Structure 1
Amino acid sequence: MTKQTLFKGTMILTVAAFITKILGFANGIVLANVIGPEGVGLIMMAMPVTGLLITLTTLGLPIAISKLVAEAEIKGNYRRVKKILVVSLVTTSLLGFILMIIAIFGAKALSSHFLTDQRAYYSLLAVIPIVPIVAVSSVIKGYFRGKQNMTPIALSQVIEVVRIGLIFFLVQWLLPYGIEYAAAGAVLCGIIGEGFSLLYLFSVFKWSKHKKFKLHHSFIKQISKGKEVFFDLLKTGLPTTGNGLIQSLIGIIQPILITQSLALAGIGTALATKQYGIVMGYAIPLMLLPGFVTNSLSVALVPAISESKENNNHLLIKKRIQQAVNIALIVGVPWTIILYVFAEPLTTLIYKSPEAGTFLKIMGPFFLLHYFRTPFQAVLIGLGKANTVMINNLVASIISLISIAFLASNPELGIYGLALSLNIGLTLGTSLHFFSIKKLIGFYLNLIDTIKVILSGIIMGYGGLITFKYIQNETTNSIVILVISLTISLLSYLLFLFFFKIINFKKLHK
Structure 2
Amino acid sequence: MSKFVKGTIILLAAGMMTRILGFINRVVIARSIGEEGVGLYMMTYPAFILAVTIIQLGIPVAVSKRIAEAEALGEHRKIKKIFALSLFITLALSFLVTPVLYFGAPYLTEALFTDQRALYPLQTISPVLPIVAASSVIRGYFQGKQNMLPSALSQLIEQLVRIFLLLALTRLFVPYGPEYAASAAMLAIIGGEFLSCLYLAGLFKIKKAFQLRKNFFRSLKNSRAEFRELMAIALPATGSRLIGSVSWFIEPIVVTQSLALAGVSAVAATKQYGILTGLALPLLLLPSFITVALSTSLVPAISEAASLKNYYLAEYRIQQALKFCLITGAVSVVIIFTLAEPLMAILYRSTSGTIFIQIMAPLFLFQYFQGPLQATLQALDAARAAMVNSLIGAVAKTLLIFLLASRPNIGINGVALAMATGTVLVTLLHLATILKIIPLSINLRFYGKVAALSVAAGIFGHLAYPYFLGETTPLFAILLSIAAIAAAYLFLLLATKTVYLKELTGWFRNFFFRH
TM category, shorter: 0.7 to 0.9
Query: SS of the residue aligned with 1:354?
Result: coil
1:104 aligned residue = 102
From 368, 371, 379, the equivalent of 1:371 is: 368
Residue 273 of structure 1, aligned match among 237, 254, 270: 270
Deviation per CA, 1:369-416: give whole Å up to 9, x if none. 112212322333344433222211111111111111111112221111
Instruction: State yes or no: 1:507 paired with 2:506.
Output: no
Deviations 1:228-286 (A, max 9, x none): 33233323322332323322222222222112212222222211111111111111111
**Conserved in 2, the CA contact under 8 Å of 1:83 and 1:222?**
yes
Cα deviation for residue 203 of structure 1 reads 3.1
Match of 1:237 among 234, 239, 242: 234
Q: Secondary structure at the match of 1:163?
A: helix
- Report SS of the residue matched to 1:185: helix
Cα offsets for 1:133-171 (capped at 9, x unmatched)? 222222232334445443222211211111211211210
The partner residue of 1:433 within 404, 417, 430 is 430
Task: List runs of 5+ in structure 1 lacking aligned partners.
Answer: none
CA contact (8 A) 1:31 1:40 kept: yes
In 2, Cα distance between the equivalents of 1:39 and 1:17? 28
Give runs of aligned pairs for residues 271-310 of structure 1, distance below 5 A: 271-299=268-296, 301-302=298-299
- Structure 1 residue 498, shift from structure 2 partner: 5.9
The yes-or-no answer on 1:462 pairing with 2:459 is yes
Matched, 1:480 2:479: no
CA contact (8 A) 1:50 1:124 kept: yes
Whether the 8 Å contact between 2:173 and 2:184 is mirrored in structure 1 is yes
1:32-57 residue CA offsets vs partner (Å, 9 max, x unmatched): 23321100000001111111110110
Counterpart residue type for residue 152 of structure 2: A
Check if 1:17 corresponds to 2:18. Answer: no
SS in 1 for 2:406: coil
- Structure 1 residues 311, 103: closer, same or farther in 2, change over 3 A? farther
* C-alpha distance in structure 1 between counterparts of 2:442 and 2:131, whole Å: 40
Contact 2:302 2:317 in 1 (8 A): yes
Structure 1 position 113 matched with structure 2 position 118: no
| Structure 1 residue aligned with 2:398 | 401
Contact kept in structure 1, 2:60 and 2:140, CA below 8 Å: yes
Give, as a single letter, the amino acid of the residue that structure 2 aligns with 1:377: Q
Deviates more, 1:325-334 or 1:121-130: 325-334
Question: Of residues 24, 27, 30 in structure 2, which corresponds to 1:26?
Answer: 24
- Between the two proteins, the alignment pairs up a number of residues equal to 502
CA contact (8 A) 2:39 2:270 kept: yes
- Residues 133/394 of structure 1: CA separation in 2 closer, same or farther (3 Å cut): same
* Partner Cα separation in structure 1 for residue 265 and residue 133 of structure 2: 38
Go from structure 1 to structure 2 and tell me whether the alpha carbon gap of 1:274 and 1:243 turns closer, same or farther (over 3 Å shift).
Answer: same
In the other structure, the counterpart of 1:204 is 203
2:468 corresponds to: 471
What is the aligned partner in structure 2 of residue 492 from structure 1?
488
2:28–2:163 contact (8 Å) kept in structure 1? no
Task: Quote the Cα distance in structure 2 between the aligned partners of 1:319 and 1:229.
Answer: 38
Q: Is the 8 A contact 2:25 2:162 kept in 1?
A: no
Q: Determine the C-alpha separation between the residues in 2 that align with 1:353 and 1:111.
A: 28
- Does the CA-based 8 Å contact 1:140-1:201 persist in structure 2? yes
Letter in 1 for 2:194: G
Deviates more, 1:331-340 or 1:44-53: 331-340
Identical residues among aligned pairs (%): 43
Judged with a 3 Å threshold, the aligned counterparts in structure 2 of structure 1 residues 208 and 222 are, in CA distance, closer, same or farther, namely: closer
Aligned amino acid, residue 401 of structure 1: T
Q: How far, CA to CA, are the matches of 1:310 and 1:77 in structure 2?
A: 26
In 1, Cα distance between the equivalents of 2:434 and 2:78? 29
Distance 1:3 1:388 in 2: 36
Could you tell me how far apart the structure 2 residues matched to 1:326 and 1:80 are? 43
**Distance of aligned partners of 1:63 and 1:297 in 2 relative to their CA distance in 1, 3 Å threshold:** farther
Q: Partners in 2 of 1:403 and 1:116 — Cα distance?
A: 20
CA contact (8 A) 2:113 2:256 kept: no
Is 1:53–2:54 an aligned residue pair? no
Structure 1 counterpart of 2:162, one-letter code: R
Q: 1:385 to 1:231 in 2, by over 3 A?
A: farther
**Deviation at residue 324 of structure 1 after TM alignment:** 4.1
Residues in 1 aligned to 2:70 and 2:19: alpha-carbon distance in whole angstroms: 33
Cα distance in structure 1, aligned partners of 2:10 and 2:274: 32
- 1:335-414 alignment, distance < 5 Å: 335-414=332-411
Shift of 1:99: 1.4
Specify the code of the residue in structure 1 equivalent to 2:477.
I
Are the aligned partners of 1:4 and 1:149 in contact in 2 as well (CA < 8 Å)? no
Question: Given residue 33 of structure 2, which amino acid in structure 1 is its aligned partner?
Answer: I
Cα pair 2:101 2:126 within 8 Å, conserved: yes
* Distance in structure 2 (CA, Å) of the matches to 1:451 and 1:76: 53
Deviation at 1:481, TM superposition (A): 1.9
SS in 1 for 2:286: coil
Q: How does 1:442-457 map to 2 (within 5 A)?
A: 442=439, 450=447, 453-457=450-454
The one-letter code of the counterpart of 1:341 is: T
In 1: Cα distance, 2:178 partner to 2:278 partner = 16
After superposition, give the CA deviation of every residue in 1:469-499 in whole Å (9 maximum; x if it has no partner).
Answer: 4334x33732232121112222333445566
How far apart are 1:192 and its partner, in Å? 0.8
What is residue 182 of structure 1 aligned with on the other side?
181
Match of 1:164 in 2: 163
Cα 1:351/1:83, change in 2 over 3 Å: same
Q: Could you say what the CA RMSD is over the residues aligned between the two structures, in angstroms?
A: 3.1
Q: Is the 8 A contact 1:10 1:296 kept in 2?
A: no
Q: What is residue 246 of structure 1 aligned with on the other side?
A: 243
